[in-house]
Amino acid sequence: GAVVSQHPSRVICKSGTSVKIECRSLDFQATTMFWYRQFPKQSLMLMATSNEGSKATYEQGVEKDKFLINHASLTLSTLTVTSAHPEDSSFYICSARPGTGVKAFFGQGTRLTVV
């Protein structure tokens, strides 16, 4: 079955530094990938839609300069949290769908802790 791989699974960084999270579709091409954020005991909140070869589409309230998204190939999207602060600490998950109207597959998630 389709697999989405996300890396790293866990990262701890110092306040003010930047962190890059990778999301790869391993056996299908994904022109679109999605980045979610999840706070403890809360549901998935869509941050942005990553579009291959073009700019990402950000949800209302999500700072595009803070959460940089690059989707340079059909199998890889990256999310960079720039100048991270403790309030950016969260669980970030990516997902991709092999096509329209089919189920979405999720990466393993990345737990970011900013100290």
Partner 1 sequence: EDKVVQSPLSLVVHEGDTVTLNCSYEVTNFRSLLWYKQEKKAPTFLFMLTSSGIEKKSGRLSSILDKKELFSILNITATQTGDSAVYLCAVDTGTASKLTFGTGTRLQVTL
* Interacting residue ranges for partner 1, rule: CB under 8 A: 6, 9, 32, 34, 36, 41-46, 49, 57, 93, 95, 97, 100-109
Q: By C-beta, is 65 or 100 nearer to partner 1?
A: 100
Q: By C-beta, is 74 or 82 nearer to partner 1?
A: 74
- Burial (Cβ within 10 Å: 0-12, 13-18, ≥19) of residue 16: exposed
Q: By C-beta, is 36 or 67 nearer to partner 1?
A: 36
Q: Output the smallest distance, CB 82 to partner 1, in A.
A: 23
> Using CA atoms, how far apart are residues 24 and 103, in angstroms rounded to an integer?
16
Q: Output the smallest distance, CB 83 to partner 1, in A.
A: 27
